Structures are given as C-alpha cells and as structure tokens.
Amino acid sequence: RKEVEQDPGPFNVPEGATVAFNCTYSNSASQSFFWYRQDCRKEPKLLMSVYSSGNEDGRFTAQLNRASQYISLLIRDSKLSDSATYLCVVIGPAGNKLTFGGGTRVLVKP
C-alpha cells in the first residue's frame, strides 16, 4: 500500500462549480499535512496546511480526518486558473521529509 494515495483524476469541472477530492495516508502517526499545487512542468507550491480543526483560505477548504486517515480539499466557485495538479503531502513521525501523493488533476472548463 502506498504511503499517500490520491485519485489521479482528471476531475473535469465547469467554471463556477465546486469540486472536492480526498487523499488517504497509511501511517497513523503522521504529523503534518499539506496541499501543494503543481502546474505543468513547474515546481510544487504550497497551497495550504491542513489542521485538525479544518481550515479555509478563500475558496479553498481543507479537512483532516485522523480516525479514517484522510484529508480533503474543496474548491468553491472554480476558476479557470485553478486547473492544476493538486498534491497531497504528509510528514511522517520522523518529521524529516515530505511524502507526496501522486496528485489529482483538476481541469476547469468554461
């Protein structure tokens, strides 16, 4: 079983719609969780950290479910510029490296 798993998509989303997707992680002792965004052939960039209480940043909402070992990302009012690959990232108990999921591709269409 992979340490961090994501549905690769693509999720085809009409502009203005809401899209949500999850990521599961295997190590229950994982410490920290993040969503990164990666545009085609570019470096990953931090989108947001994911906190136990859930957190929101504008149109983006992240949730953590430790009992079921998954995190989620919801994007409201999707924009064309939201088209990207969203990477779920986990820091394990050793705390010394980011472990990436394979990414979920989102395509927002007019």
Distance CA 62, CA 11 (A): 17
CB 3 within 8 A of CB 22: no
Nearer to another protein, 44 or 75 (CB): 44
Q: How far is the CB of 15 from another protein (least distance, A)?
A: 26
For the chain, the farthest-separated pair of C-alpha atoms sits apart, in whole angstroms, at 44
Distance CA 71, CA 43 (A): 22
- Does 53 participate in binding another protein (rule CB under 8 A)? no
- Does 103 participate in binding another protein (rule CB under 8 A)? yes
Q: How far is the CB of 87 from another protein (least distance, A)?
A: 7
- Does 44 participate in binding another protein (rule CB under 8 A)? yes
The interface region with another protein, picked from 9-17, 50-58, 75-83, 87-95 by CB under 8 A, is 87-95
CB 93 within 8 A of CB 31: yes
Report the SS3 class of residue 4: strand
Chain centroid, CA 3 distance in Å = 14
Nearer to another protein, 49 or 72 (CB): 49
Q: Which residues bind another protein (CB under 8 A)?
A: 32, 34, 41-46, 49, 87, 91, 94-103
